[in-house]
Amino acid sequence: MTKEQKNDVIEVLKDKFSQYNNFYVTNTESLTVAQVSQLRRVCFDKQVEMKVAKNTLIKKALESLDAEKYAGVYEALNNVTALMFSENPKEPAVIISSFRSASKGEKPVLKAAFINGDIYVGDNQLAALTKIKTKNELIGEVIGLLQSPAKRVLSALLNKDEANGAAAAEEAPAAVEAAAPEVAPEAPAAEAAPEAPAAE
């Protein structure tokens, strides 16, 4: 690889690290070509970008962006490295776990994960990463919590209105009866007096 090609790879990696807040550093060594292709397909289907690169180039890309921010990732850059970039913080962990279960193997191995500024090192972090809440899940939970008391208040108000409505309906006939004035029976029309005889 020429110096120019290396610089091109570093620039591509820098773009990816800048674009995504979440990336996983994995070891895909000992996977067959067919398995790597299958893993790429699964990643593509789940909107996870997978890139294989040399550790020295990955480190240079990270250092040129923010050496301190990514310092905890450097120790994971050894052996064969495949990077997984994702908007969803737990999707790569789910993919790795599912892939292992399907192939009954131990690869890919999680070397490190960078999740919204936090760094998780070691394969023993994988189970915890599959349970991370996504932004949308957290928002959904907050909305649910906010809606719950509101729903209870609305329900109480509706039940109160219904109870008041039923009581009012029962009271209405009695109120109407009480309010209606008693009508006196009509007096018989006075009998007309006999007409006086006309004067002659």
pLDDT the model gives residue 113:
97
Residue 87 lies in a domain: yes
Residue 166 lies in a domain: no
Residue 154 lies in a domain: no
Residue 49 lies in a domain: yes
pLDDT the model gives residue 200:
46
For the stretch 137-171, pLDDT in tens is: 656 657 777 777 767 776 777 787 666 666 555 66
Residue 100 lies in a domain: yes
Q: What DSSP string describes 96-133? A: HHHHHHHHTS--SEEEEEEETTEEEESGGGHHHHTTPP
Provide the pairing of β-strand 49-52 with 118-121: unpaired
Residue 193 lies in a domain: no
d(C-alpha 58, C-alpha 23), whole Å:
12
Residue 65 lies in a domain: yes
pLDDT the model gives residue 143:
77
Domain count, the chain: 1
Tokens at 116, concatenated: 């919204």
Residue 171 lies in a domain: no
pLDDT the model gives residue 37:
95
Q: Are 90 and 130 in contact (CB under 8 A)?
A: yes
pLDDT the model gives residue 135:
61
Domain containing 50: what range? 3-132
| pTM of the predicted model as reported, rounded to 2 decimal places | 0.68
Q: Are 63 and 69 in contact (CB under 8 A)?
A: no
Q: What is the largest CA-CA distance in the chain?
A: 152
Supply the CATH number for residue 68's domain.
Answer: 3.30.70.1730
Q: How would you write 139-175 as a 3-class SS string?
A: HHHHHHHHHHHHHHHHHHHHHHHHHHHHHHHHHHHHH
- Name the stretches of the chain with pLDDT < 70: 134-141, 150, 154, 161-200
> What strand order describes the sheet that includes 82-86?
49-52, 82-86, 22-27, 109-115, 118-121
Q: Are 83 and 53 in contact (CB under 8 A)?
A: yes
